[in-house]
Chain A
Amino acid sequence: MTQSKRFARLAERDINKETFVEAWPDAGLIVADGPNDPRPSLTLEPAPHKRVIEMDGKTRAQFDSLDTFIADHFLDLSVAEEAMATPSLQIARMLVDINVPADQVRRLALGCTPAKLCEIVRHMSVLEMMMGLAKMRVRKTPANQAHVTNRRENPALLAADAAEAALRGFAEIETTVGIARMAPLNALCVLVGSQTGRGGVLTQCAIEESMGLRLAMKGLTSYAETLSVYGTERSFVDGDDTPWSKAFLASAYASRGVKIRFTSGTGSEALMGSSEGKSMLYLEARCLCIVRGAGSQGVQNGSISCIALPESLPGGVRAVLAENLIAAMLGLEVASGNDALASHSAIRKSAKLMLQFIPGTDFIFSGYSAVPRRDNMFGGGNFDAEDFDDYNVLQRDMQIDGGLRPVREAEVLAVRREAARAVQAVYAELGFPEIRDEEVEAAVVAHSSDDMPARDIVADLAAADRFLEGPQDVRDVISALRRHGFPQIAANLTEMLRQRTLGDYLQPAAIFVRDDPSSPKPTFRVLSALTDPNDYAGPGSGYRLQGARWQEITALPQARSPHDFIADRIGAPLPNLHELGPARPGRFNEVIVCVGPAFGTALTQTINGLPHEEVLKAIFTGIAKEGMIARLIKAYHTSDCAQLGFTASSYSGSGIGIGLQSRGTAVIHKRGMPRLHNLELFSFSPSLTLETFEQIGRNAAKYAKGEAVKPVPVTVDNWARLRLIVKTALLHRRETEEVRDKPPQELFFDWEPDV
């Protein structure tokens, strides 16, 4: 078969490293609207009992334990009949309608069965879902969550990376372990590091449920997230839980003042081989009803670690947005995925991100890998530490608050050092294996764990075991920090504990912001569904990125003052260039060079740094080599290249003229041609060399002599425009500033070509 070179090139693209598969409903390989999904239905026992006796096509006797839980703990029976009788299309339209408040939609959603919730979103495009998400998100201010882990489980590096992540603006930091027994130490390091970067950042350690609870009770974590739920009874049991055990766990955490959110997501049931032939979205809707029914304030959803599975199927990315939307409809805090590796293609992963980034969610990522993806122990890193600058630019481009902020290298190094030293002191005080100065220094500047010296893992694990079983807890950590000269970190940790006793951060979508950053004693303020409710109701309402926060996002360290772009193109005016008086039309066979009004005076170099004097010499040399005479005039009435060429030719005795802007753009024009037409145009000024300018002079002279002319070859560099457009605009602006109501002037260039 004939082979296309284009197809061969396409086959090498990142997108073609992905797996794409056709839907197979019976295996659960269908993202939404599966042929085996039930149609929405609900029957209640008549008053006064008002109990669910039928739901989504199953009688109560046919319910599995998930159905029972949904019927008895999720559904708001006071509104269920009304909600089920309201056409799904109407509720879908309410989601998009800015005149319908979120509360009205939520009231109905809480009376909808899982199948009904799916039927509502079935009517919606991704754009409409994004509108719905912007309105239904529970917290007004969007935020972001980080992953901080490393392959070598190095404590100094964990603390330093957590500090940097906190400084970069993450509201939550999640860590986990390579070796499960290391959990208490990793949690400790991320806790200390986070409170070094910014007091009030919430931290967690993803680990087996019982261990997670023990870490929280020791004060080493301030929230828990990996309370996983599944959409079929079989997969729920395989996950070693029931809705009741999960709900009890949620209460156990809350009894110690610790925030939790559940985790679910499309694809997990199919991956576990027990989808019951149902679509991913239908099973996820069941999960979300259980999450709400169990009393979790929120959920991590958006397919999470299974993301590659829905993305292999048609409509997968849309379905993932739909599950975020359903969660928000139910009043759940949403930490919306974008965490696990989802694509090889930078285009595809960025496009997918926009579905959460643009509407905003409570946590746009769950989480963003604040370490290089090789160090991400979650299988995460769809976006990672190497994408920080890209992400900051996206925020600045779209004026969207994605939860991060640009940072300066010096401030990052400072908090990394402080955090690594603090955890070094804590290890010493608590009798853990020493963190050497060499490790601290390495952690300050490290990019990844490859930059770290090795540690004795066996000794660290033994210390982790003793720490978990022993009486020491976060109070000992605080004492150690105080004693070793880290009062600010100690104060932040103490405030985190005080917040636990208040419980405000148990409310939906809670994060902490610092009350008064100048106060030495920190107090944290809670932003939650109660204190910062989303009031989006169309343009001019809801969260608006403005004021100090917008200034912070605009201030990229890479951004330069516009003046910097042209400073080096301004020099001393050329000493050998003299203005004689008004230019006169020529009568001889000559070539006129007409320069722009800033040439050799306000500006003295072209865009790529060629001195104007050298450019003139090159052109004059070219003209002289053809035995012709050059005359130089300066236009004041225009800065436009075509106009300069037109002016040159109209004054030229031969009718041939060269227009030359200060930035170097040139044109050869012939009298009688329309103004915007030309003999040759050299618009890629950055690629013009002195040799090219000499060629331009030669060709102009040849035109004047009436010879056949081969056009000057020019390099075409489409990236030059991208790189230099700001400089181009500013140089042109400077030239245009010199425009006067003054006729072209004769210039004397005090130099003779040596030909």
Chain B
Amino acid sequence: MFRTNLAIGLISAAIIAFQLVLMQILSYIQWYHFAYMIISVALLGFGAAGTFLTVFRKKLQRNYALIFPLLLFITGILMSIVVIIANTETVRFDSLLIFHDFRYAGRLVATYFIFFLPFFTGALAIGMSFLKFAGKIGKIYFSNLVGSGIGGIIALLLMQFVLPQQLPLIIAVIALAGGFVSFPKNAGKLLQSVALVSIVVLPAVLFIPYKLKPSEYKDISKTLLLPDATVEYEKSSPYGLVQVVSSPVLRYAPGVSLGYRGTFSVQKAVFNNGNWNGFLIPATDREETSILDFTPQSLPYQIAKNEKVLILDAATGENVALALSHNVTEIVATEANAAIFSLLQHSFATYDQVKLRHTLSRTFLVSDTSGYQLIELPVIGSFFGNSGLNAVESHFELSIEAFHDMWDRLADNGMISVSCWMDYPVRNAYRLLAVIDRLLKEKKIKHPEKHIIAIRSWCAVAFFVNKSEFSRNQEIQAQQFCNDMMFDPLLMPGSTAIDTGSFNVLQDTSFFRNIKRLLSSEEEKNAFFKEYPYRIQPVTDNRPFFFQHIRWSGIQQVISSFRKGGLPFLELGYLLVLFTFVQILFIAGFFIIVPLFFKRWKSKDKFRVFFYFSGIGLAYMFVEIVFIQHFTFYFGQAIYAAAASISMLLIASGLGSYYSVFLQITKKILFLIPIIIGVVLLIYSFLLPTVLSLTIGVALPLKIFISIVLTGIPGFLLGIPFPAGIKYLSEKRQADIPRAWAFNGYFSVISTALATIIAVEAGYVLLLLIAGVTYALAGLSYSRQKN
């Protein structure tokens, strides 16, 4: 039994690690949205395995000793080769071309299927064990959950040191180890042959020279087409693959004034997961950044003396360089991405006045107590206006609460500087202004218009919010700056009129009317929010999706515009999640639910089994997603927090599962445990954000302890319902177990995308509440004696 438990732990670790690695790989070769696809593919594997078990239960059970290790070997072999197959010319898809060439949709399906295979075989091995040892499910499930938790940690550690394309092979070894651990003494020829093949295939894969090829439309692909472009530096990290590229024609001048007549120095570009991340500021330019003085972001240095400056999300440090060139005496800069942070450290190591902090900007703001003359955010969106790509990414630094935190960190004469690229249709500029307007209202500022300056360049809008009123002198200096730089003032403190500009004319003047509406009465503003085809209301910590602008009513319009061949990137992020959800609903339904109808299900407890196992499958992922968000904010380290919260939750659930072994499982237990979970989640939905924000500033060891306690309590409880349910069925009606597992799998599959949709539409608080209610309803299915 120990060997089986160990093998289950190893295959579970391999599956989770492989899932994380595939997410990393697809984020590099495509875009990060495919992380959802991988989660769904993995869960689909589990669901389909459940269905397969239902249909072939007896045969599989009879040959368990042989089939279990066989599946582990096959999983290992598949893990080592599927990425190579998906990366070949004939299979590789390009998400951008899916909308233009139907063949690529076929390739996407093929990729989906290829990635599905190792999850299916691995999950089948686990499912067989659940069935075989249903009476001891608590221990098996314990191994499964703890193995999964450790697998997550292994993947993150590996990502730190190994390049993405080399990772699948290492993880395949873990799966194979499971095969060898469970290798029976009387192994037949088939098993011996497969084991031998695995021993041959894995080292062979090591010698297959392959390199992951990112989409030709990714920034790095285009940059590498430039003359003499070479990758000079590569560093893998859980945040992505960071690459530094040099070429004699790479220049840096983001949105520089048309009045600039100097030369643009050639620099090295930095990419994270193939996406543009910034330039390495050359040593010679760090103190004399004349180009950046020709951008709207330099206005605060033209109209005020800044001694202490906070630069949030500094990336490769262009704003740090700008501050240095203006002799700022203390510059604090934050950056969360570890690999980018090390580049930043390298660039500014010799400057005593620069203090770098490796954390999320928001986490830093909450725990810091200093007063700054200037707080600067990076330019929001992207030059191409494809900010919709980040639609379902949380941006806590742009919520209304974040602006409150920034305001509280300002010195009396301090200023917040925030700019955005102009996007069409305009969304980011409106949303930023709406946030600023709300901030000033909530701070009860008497004359808000006297605290805002906004200017426009040919491609960007910059907003400056001062804690005290802007002086007349500052206004004149700002006007002069605009004139010199060929920028246009948009909002000036001495006037309530909107300047339509003379240097940068807009053919569509509705922009100015809309800016006016955003600054008018509450009724007018709310009417504008309702009428505008996109969501532009300020975002909150509960729904921190700054770049999610799409409305349900607008989806049809976006889809119809795809047919005309345009806008695939506009708001694509959210649409892809919706698309994934619908696709998974059908595919998972087809693979998991439909086959169940081909085998007659004779059971008295049909509905009970369905509601119980589907309910707990659905709600577990909801809890996981909420916890990831909260602990990301709490620790300031997105990836590590995600991994730690997932691993802690899984390990605590494992312990809960182990505990269930000692429970006498009755209907009452199946009723009570989910109800208790429901109540705990209800309490958490209201108290968790408060507890975390109150303790965010405490020392790290205490923070870790708090997070273990906060994750451990629900995690432990969440680990009980599934093994308890299976154990109950094993005693009452074992034939229902594969179906129970299939239902659980199906609802876990759809819950990943569904959780994101609920979070975007209703917020994290409601998502956790829904999880609680779902658990309670699952428990209620065992509340009465009869269906």
User: Bound pair: A and B?
Assistant: no
